[in-house]
Structure 1
Amino acid sequence: MRFDITKCHGSGNDFPLIDARALSLDDAAWAAVARALADRAGPVGGDGLLLLTAGDDDHAFGMRMFNSDGSESETCLNGLRCTARSGFAALGVESARVRLKTSGAFVVRDPDLAPGVFTVRETAGPASRDVAAWPMTIGRAENIDAPIEGLPSDRAFTAVAMPNPHLVTFVDRIDEAELVRVGTVCESAPDWLPNRANVSFVEVRGRDLFVRTFERGVGLTDSCGSAMGASTYAACLTGRIAFDVPTTVFNKGGRIRAEASADGMVTLSGNATVEWIGSVDVDLAAGAASDLTIAARYPDEIAAWAAVRDAAV
């Protein structure tokens, strides 16, 4: 089956994106497409697959996101900005209510984060502290700045759903090996955490944050939008930064503007960069992609974001 795709990224979190509004594949087929297109050894590669889906009475359009392992995520806030850009172009609008898997979000075209950087502001939430909903069985209803038995770390974690589950800990200096150890335990879906969780180590830098994430279904990634949102809310919740005050969140992929409110709503403003557009064949039975044709590249957008990324690290 041949697909038209847009290769895009939000804060370095990169994806092939498909306009699926007129397509009718089942979940198993989309999972196979995701594994084929996100395969880093294949012709496209990415952290997952984004789908622009049809709207309904309450939403202009929808988004689905499949991780590189074929699992479907509740949301992906870096991917949402890219999907919003595609939806804006398809419908000729600059703001929209978007349907996600288990929730919704509001998106609007924002002033450019930097010259030449297409920027989208997204508001999502409310964040939830109810770990029973994940589920995470730890003998209490929430976990705020406290260790979690079962993790290979005695650090204090804050558990937040955005609505996908996140464990956030604040560190003086990020130890990637330790992050991978903790993330790998969560990725293994232990009995007390059957749906897994994203894990973020966060450095507080004055009023700013630097976030490094082991993403569920992906692994160690340069950027995870919902993790940046969860980390911002967790930092406010634990008194490390203030609610309702803009902050800058950095990661290895770049940076975003962020703000969290006490009611759990989180606003992120960041890039939605298009690198190229093209088409590719996917053999659903074999789970493999081939015959990539690139119709157009966007080097000016790539260069504009590279300047932001290089200044952020």
Structure 2
Amino acid sequence: MECRFIKCHGSGNDFPLVDGRMLSLSDADWGQLARALGDRAGPVGGDGLLVLTAGDEQAAFGMRMFNSDGSEAETCLNGLRCVARAGFEALGIDHAVVRLKTSRATVAAAAPLATSVYTIEETAGPATLDLADWPLAGAGARLIDAPLASLSPAQRFTAVAMPNPHLVGFVDRIDEEELVRIGQLCEAAPAWLPNRANVSFVEVRDPVTLFVRTFERGVGLTDSCGSAMAASTYAACLTGRIGYDRDVTVLNRGGLVRARAAADAMVTLYGNATWEWEGEVIVDLAQARAGDLRVLRHHDAEIAAWAQVADAAR
């Protein structure tokens, strides 16, 4: 099949984005397309695949997100901003309710984070703490700033669903090897965590600044994960490390977002939705392989504008 897409990113979390409103693909085919386009060794590459889908009575449009391994995630907040931009441009609107896999979110065009950086405000939640929904065995009904013996006898975690599952550990200094080790344990889908989970280590740099590093379910170690930044912000408030209803900066390897968690467990992020380039590619769905690529347009000004933000964040 021939597939047209936009290569985009939210806070360095990069994806091909496809307008799927007129496409009739099975779930299995969408998974194959995600494997083909997300393959870092292929002509496109990305942390997964974003799909703009049709709306319904309550939502102007919808979003589906498939990880690079072909699995479908409940949400992706960095990706949601990109899909929101595509939906706004397609429908000529600047705010909307968006249908996600298991929930809904509100999105709106916002004042730029920096000059020439297209910015979206998104509110998602409520974050939930009930482990029966994951499921996560052996940790009780909730896990809040406590050890999880299956992963580490020393590291304390807070388990938050946003609505995808996140294990958030606060550390003085991020040990990337340990993060990968724990992430891979969760990625293996052990009997006590059959649906896997995202794992983040978080440094509290000051009362209004967090740094988040994430091993993302279905992706691996990633420069940025929007729902992880939202879950980490809520977990920091829940455990008293930062205050509710306070604007904080959340840094990551890909740049930053602004975040605010409310006591009702709703989390708002302000972040970029940056177009990098647009293209068409021939995809063999049976083999999950992308072949001939034609680049249609580069967005050099947007790339340069975000590079300045990312450099400052680092």
Common fold: TM-score over 0.5: yes
Aligned to 1:71: 71
Which secondary structure does the structure 2 equivalent of 1:220 belong to?
Answer: strand
Q: Does 1:97 align with 2:100?
A: no
Q: Deviations over 1:20-53 (max 9, x none)?
A: 0011100000000000000000000000000000
Partner of 1:301: 302
Partner of 1:168: 168
**1:282 counterpart = 2:278:** no
Q: List gaps (5 residues or longer) in structure 1.
A: none
List runs of 5+ in structure 2 lacking aligned partners: none
RMSD, aligned α-carbons:
0.6
Deviations 1:228-279 (A, max 9, x none): 0000000000000000010000000000000001111000000000001111
State the distance in 1 between where 2:110 and 2:138 align.
Answer: 40
What corresponds to 2:123 in structure 1? Answer: 123
Residues 3-23 of structure 1: per-residue CA shift (max 9 Å, x gap): 110000000000000000011
Superposed CA offset, 1:283-305 (max 9, x none): 01111001111111001100000
The one-letter amino acid of 2:299's match is: Y
- Structure 2: distance between partners of 1:131 and 1:251: 27
1:104 Cα deviation after fit: 0.4
Matched, 1:229 2:230: yes
Residue 212 of structure 2 aligns to a residue whose secondary structure is strand
Q: Which residue of 1 aligns with 2:19?
A: 19
Q: Which residue identity is paired with 2:99?
A: R
> What secondary structure, in the 3-state scheme, does the structure 1 residue paired with 2:235 have?
helix
Secondary structure of the structure 2 residue equivalent to 1:157: strand
5 Å-filtered alignment, 1:189-268, equals 189-206=189-206, 207-268=208-269
- In 1, Cα distance between equivalents of 2:156 and 2:295: 47
Give the CA deviation at 1:139.
4.5
Distance of 1:89 and 1:266 partners within structure 2: 25
Partner of 2:29: 29
Partners of 1:284 and 1:7 lie apart in 2 by 19
Deviation of residue 153 (structure 1)?
4.8
SS in 2 for 1:105: strand
CA–CA distance in structure 1, aligned partners of residues 161 and 51 of structure 2: 22
- 3-state SS of 2:23 partner: coil
Q: Does 1:112 find its partner at 2:130?
A: no
Counterpart residue type for residue 111 of structure 2: P
Distance 1:229 1:303 in 2: 26
1:8 correspondence with 2:20: no
> Partners of 1:149 and 1:191 in 2: how far apart?
14
SS state at 1:156 partner: strand
AA of the residue aligned to 1:113: L
Distance of aligned partners of 1:176 and 1:61 in 2 relative to their CA distance in 1, 3 Å threshold:
same
Judging changes above 3 Å, is the alpha-carbon distance between structure 1 residues 29 and 270 closer, same or farther for their aligned structure 2 residues?
same
For residues 294 and 266 of structure 1, the distance between their equivalents in structure 2, rounded to whole angstroms, comes to 36
Could you tell me which residue of structure 2 aligns to residue 273 of structure 1? 274
CA distance change for structure 1 residues 230 and 139 in 2, over 3 Å: closer, same or farther? Answer: closer
Alignment partners' CA distance in 2, 1:148 and 1:185 = 12
Whole-angstrom distance in 1 between the partners of 2:231 and 2:136: 17
Q: State the distance in 1 between where 2:139 and 2:220 align.
A: 27
CA distance in 1, matches of 2:230, 2:138: 23
Deviations 1:186-222 (A, max 9, x none): 0000111000000000000112100000000000000
**Does 1:143 find its partner at 2:134?**
no
Tell me the SS of whatever aligns to 2:193: coil
* Contact kept in structure 2, 1:152 and 1:181, CA below 8 Å: no
Deviation at 1:152, TM superposition (A): 3.5
**Is the Cα contact below 8 Å between 1:48 and 1:66 reproduced in 2?**
yes
State the one-letter code of the partner of 1:201: F
